[in-house]
Amino acid sequence: MIEDAVALVVPLLKNICVIVVIAYLITRTKPFTEVLEKKFTWKNQAILIAIFGCFSIFGTYSGIEIFGAIANVRDLGPMIGGLACGPFVGIGAGIIGALHRISLGGFTGVPCSIATLCAGIIGGAIYKLNKGKFVGILYAVLFSALMELLHMGITLLISTPFSAALTVVESVVVPMVFANASGMFIFAIFVSNLIKERKTREERDKYQKELIEKEIRIRELEIDKLKKYSKELEIKVKTLEIKIDEKRAKKAVSEITNTDYFKWLKKEAEDIRKSR
């Protein structure tokens, strides 16, 4: 049983590597960045639903058939869509993956489809409960592992005959939990790094804005000081001009009063005043 599980893990991890590469590219796209920044539109959410829905379908086709069931990473797309982009994307991707899986038939078709849809619904619910914040790497991995255990539980509960379902679950539970948790771990790292980059840019922009505002304020203060100083200089210049004019006037008067003619006129005026 352990050897079978190990044999399943390797091809599942290969499939996850393909998904992770695509997932990394998606996290750098405009729609994903917009949703991560809470800029929701019908267009970017529809694009992400299609992308994560295709992830889910890829997870089904890349799975390994065991006793009529498929060991896969189908739930990874809806889980990621729900946790990172909200319930609309998670549920939409879950519906796509579930409809595709049920169309393939098989005695585990219904429970697997239900589990895929639940992955998107629960992922979106966690997104809402956490107020739109990504839960982080640890909780994302824990969620994916628990989701796959729920997947196994739904399979045992609904699939018939029970003995066949039990055989399938015993064979795929370890590789599916491990593979989906590993894929979620890597994707969560991408998302966390992207969030850190965005926060770093926001802090940088904030500090740059504060720096520019302070520089403008300093320049305004310097201009005010220059204006004040210029006004003081202007007043001093005018005061000096007045003093200079007064000196010139006094000098001119002195030059006139010191002339012999002015002295003679002054004496004549005094004599006239005395004769009266």
Q: Which of 153, 183, 169 is nearest to 12 (CA)?
A: 183
- pTM > 0.75: no
Work out the number of other CB atoms within 10 angstroms of the CB of residue 178.
19
User: How confident is the model over 58-96, as pLDDT tens digits?
Assistant: 888 877 766 555 668 899 999 999 999 999 999 999 999
Q: For residues 9 and 136, which has the higher predicted lDDT (pLDDT)?
A: 136
pLDDT at 263 over 70: no
- The DSSP line for 187-250 is HHHHHHHHHHHHHHHHHHHHHHHHHHHHHHHHHHHHHHHHHHHHHHHHHHHHHHHHHHHHHHHH
Unique residue bearing structure tokens 């255990």: 149
With bands split at pLDDT 50, 70 and 90, how would you rate the model's confidence at 215? confident
- For residue 62, give the H/E element and its range: none
Q: What span, in angstroms and rounded, lies between the C-alpha atoms of 116 and 208? A: 46
From the number of C-beta atoms within 10 Å of its C-beta (0-12, 13-18, 19+), residue 137 rates as middle
Preceding omega of 161 cis (within 30 degrees of 0): yes
Task: Extract the tokens encoding 263.
Answer: 């002295």
pLDDT at 118: 96
Of 24-28, 113-117, 219-223, which has the strongest mean pLDDT? 113-117
b/e 80-89 (16+ beta carbons within 10 angstroms → b): bbbbbbbbbb
Q: Residue 100 — very low, low, confident or very high, per pLDDT cuts 50/70/90?
A: very high
Task: Kindly report the length of the chain.
Answer: 276
